[in-house]
Amino acid sequence: MSKTGWAWTWFGFLLALDIAIPWFVLTHVKKMSGAFLFWTIWVVLAIISAFVIFLKWKEARQ
Amino acid sequence: MSTTFWVWLGIAIYIAVGLAIAMMARRQLGAGVSEFFLANRKVGGFVSALTYSATTYSAFMMIGLAGLTYINGVGALGFELTYLCGMFMMVFFLPRFWLVGRKYGYISPMELLNDRYQSKGVGATAAILALVFLVPYGAVQLMGIGYLMNGVSQGAIPVVAGIIIAVFCAIAWSNIAGMRSVAWTDAFQALIMIGTSAAVLGVVVAALGGFGSFFSKLESAVPGLLVVPTAKGAWSINMFIGLALPWLFFLISNPQVSQRLFIPKSVTAMKQMLGGFLIFGFIYTMISVLWGFSATLLVPGLEKADLATPTLLTLPIIPMGLAIIVMIGITAAAISTIDSILLTLSSVWARDIHKGLINPKVSEAGELRVGQWVIPIMAIIAFVFAWWAAGKTGLAFMIAPLSSAASAGLLMAVPTIFGAFFWKRATAAGAMVSCIVGAIVVLLFQVTGWKPLGWWPGTWGFIVCAILFVGVSLATKPPREKAEEFIGYLKEKLAEGKFI
């Protein structure tokens, strides 16, 4: 698979977790260490993934 | 001296500083449409990041999102962070928009669509979507300011006065030097937004005994708000998807933000813009949600959730001076969004409707004049909508759902935008039919409140729109030559710049 394909797949996986974990795994955890902590870590992971990709960008000739 | 006096003084200082920055920006204003609407595509990374942040984040955050957290709990965090996760798609779209913007000289995202699909109808359709759905979104910002000034002044400043002040600032800052004054004032306002909100959250958390104590109190006082769905039934999966789906694609569906993908002066500036925004967005989202949670502990039982922030700011634990500074920070958030919306709508009207459809031979100066006239007209329309909506109650008239509803309409342009960059087989007919029918579905479902299978209007609209886009495109003839040239150019340049 191309790098673009992998990046889209990773993004799709993140979105699947967005629903799966809070609604099906943490739905009874009435604590800040439940959905609140999950979403915080989850988005940090998404941000780091974006950094890993865009830090490789370099100037292109116009 | 009374609170009202200090509130007015704070507003006066804010307006004076903003005007001074806008006038400084005007000194660097050159001639031409690209200069006025895009600052000649020469904006540095720092200002690009801050103008993107200030345009994206608005009164919605510290009022709407805080209100949504206050009433419905942690799902609000997931909803807003889903937007931020969606910013991952910037790794695909930012270089693509930027590269073709430079090559073909596009002023607005709609012009890009016109050219790619070789049809003025596509840009005009997307332009009408923007004009229809961005008005309520702009109005939401005005409502936020009205509520806030009214709340902090404890009723002394009427809601409508706050709305009028916001309209004045937005018109001035977008008209004085176009993108240059908007970007510079945005940068100033973004720093105020994040600085003031962090400071006031710190004060409130300290009053609650620090983060450990704050979280313990939340777990014991409102445990039902820490899960999805909540104990009261909010945040069903359908509600979450209904609200989050339009937000997920906000970066390409909302022209006031996608137009900013044209402005960085270099690849380095693009990287700074994206990195800076992601960090800003994460911090500001966490602050807004924790602020909403603190309101559930400190001012429980409010009838209107959007009043959580104004009410919290009037508590004795927050010094009056800080409350006024925070009010200005939130006002800045709202105005920095609405002036960007006005500027984008004016460029869309001038380039895609006036020049594209009404008067193709108009000179650049004439085009610019039309754009500058559109700014106050759109502002007045948003003002009337805000005045009307501010008098209503219920979930549909809360700031967060109203914002999301506006974005649900804009979501209908998403398949068309994906097709432009990724699908050579996409056609103008597919684009127009999908946008129009999708938008009608969204409007009908919004107005009637109909939610078949419990799915929200944006969800239904998006499904219908995507199916129509693919189906009609397959049944009609694509602009093959342009598609090959456009996507071929991108393929070559993307590889050259190590983009993906």
**Which residue stretches of B208-258 are H helix?**
210-221, 237-248, 250-253, 255-258
**A39–B268 C-beta distance less than 8 A:** no
pLDDT band at A50 (very low <50, low <70, confident <90, very high): very high
Residue-level pLDDT at B396? 54
Pair of tokens at residue A2: 């191309």
Q: Could you give phi then psi for residue B104, rounded to 5 degrees?
A: -100, -5
CA distance A28 to A25: 8
B304 touches chain A (CB under 8 A): no
Residue B43 bridge partners (DSSP): B264
Residue-level pLDDT at B392? 66
Q: Identify residue A17 by its one-letter amino acid code.
A: L
**Tens-of-pLDDT digits for all 500 residues of chain B?**
677 888 899 999 999 999 999 999 999 888 889 999 999 999 999 999 999 999 999 878 998 899 999 999 999 999 999 999 999 999 999 999 999 999 999 999 999 999 999 999 999 999 998 988 888 888 888 887 888 888 878 888 888 888 899 999 999 999 999 999 999 999 999 999 999 999 999 999 999 999 999 999 999 999 999 999 998 889 999 999 999 999 999 999 999 999 999 999 999 999 999 999 999 999 999 999 999 999 999 999 998 888 899 899 989 999 999 999 998 988 888 898 899 999 999 999 999 999 888 998 999 899 999 999 999 999 999 888 888 877 666 555 566 666 777 888 999 999 999 999 999 999 999 999 999 999 999 988 988 888 999 999 999 999 999 999 999 999 999 999 999 999 999 999 999 999 98
Residue A61 reports pLDDT greater than 70? no
Residue-level pLDDT at B395? 53
- 3-class SS of residue B264: strand
B409, with CB counted inside 10 A (0-12, 13-18, 19+), is buried
CA distance B412 to B431: 9
A23 touches chain B (CB under 8 A): yes
**B77–A59 C-beta distance less than 8 A:** no
B363, with CB counted inside 10 A (0-12, 13-18, 19+), is exposed
For residue A40, the chain B residues in CB contact (below 8 A) are: 77, 81, 286
CA distances from B464 to A24, B453, B461, B469, B470 (A): 28, 15, 5, 9, 10
Distance from CA of B8 to the nearest CA of A (A): 38
Q: Residues 6 or more apart from B225 whose CB is under 8 A from it?
A: B72, B73, B74, B218, B231, B293, B296
Answer yes or no: are the C-beta atoms of B310 and B152 closer than 8 Å.
yes
Residue B264 bridge partners (DSSP): B43
Answer yes or no: are the C-beta atoms of B356 and B186 closer than 8 Å.
no
Average pLDDT on A19-45 reads 97
Full-model pTM = 0.93
CA distance B113 to B93: 14
B372 touches chain A (CB under 8 A): no
Query: Which positions 116-155 of B are in contact with A (Cβ < 8 Å)?
Result: none
**A18–B84 C-beta distance less than 8 A:** no
Q: Which residue has the tokens 């005994």?
A: B209
Closest CA to B345 of B33, B125, B38, B131: B131
Query: Domains in chain B, ordered, with CATH?
Result: 3-393 (1.20.1730.10)
Instruction: Please give the DSSP secondary-structure letter assigned to residue B361.
Output: T
Displacement of CA B54 from its chain's centroid (Å): 9
Q: Residues 6 or more apart from B414 whose CB is under 8 A from it?
A: B249, B252, B253, B462, B465
CA distance B150 to B54: 23
Q: Which of B103, B284, B500 best tests the A interface by mutation, with the highest count of A CBs <10 A?
A: B500
Whether ipTM exceeds 0.95: yes
Q: Which residue has the tokens 């929200």?
A: B456
Peptide bond into B452 cis (omega under 30): no
Pair of tokens at residue B29: 């204003």
Distance from CA of A48 to the nearest CA of B (A): 9
Pick from B227, B268, B270: which is nearest to A29 by CB?
A: B227
Conformational region of residue B394, where left means phi above 0, alpha means psi within -120 to 50, and beta covers everything else = left
CA distance B85 to B87: 5
Q: Residues 6 or more apart from B383 whose CB is under 8 A from it?
A: B139, B142, B163, B164, B167
Give the side-chain half-sphere CA count within 13 A for A11: 22
- Mean pLDDT, chain A, rounded, equals 95
Pair of tokens at residue B37: 């609407």
Q: Residues 6 or more apart from A31 whose CB is under 8 A from it?
A: B219, B223, B226
**What per-residue string of b and e applies to B421-439 under the rule 16 or more CB within 10 Å gives b?**
bebeebbbbbbbbbbbbbb
Query: Which positions 77-106 of B are in contact with A (Cβ < 8 Å)?
Result: 77-78, 81-82, 84-85, 87-92, 94-95, 99, 102-103
Residue-level pLDDT at B159? 85
Q: Please name the residue of chain A whose CA is at the shortest distance from the CA of residue B493.
A: A60
Average pLDDT on A45-61 reads 92
For residue A14, the chain B residues in CB contact (below 8 A) are: 85, 88
Conformational region of residue B498, where left means phi above 0, alpha means psi within -120 to 50, and beta covers everything else = left
Q: Could you give phi then psi for residue B264, rounded to 5 degrees?
A: -60, 145
**B275–A18 C-beta distance less than 8 A:** no
Q: Is the dihedral of CA B179, B180, B182, B187 positive or negative?
A: positive
**A23–B89 C-beta distance less than 8 A:** no
Which sequence spans correspond to the domains of chain A? Answer: 3-54
CA distances from B2 to B7, B242, B311 (A): 9, 44, 18
Answer yes or no: are the C-beta atoms of B83 and B244 closer than 8 Å.
yes
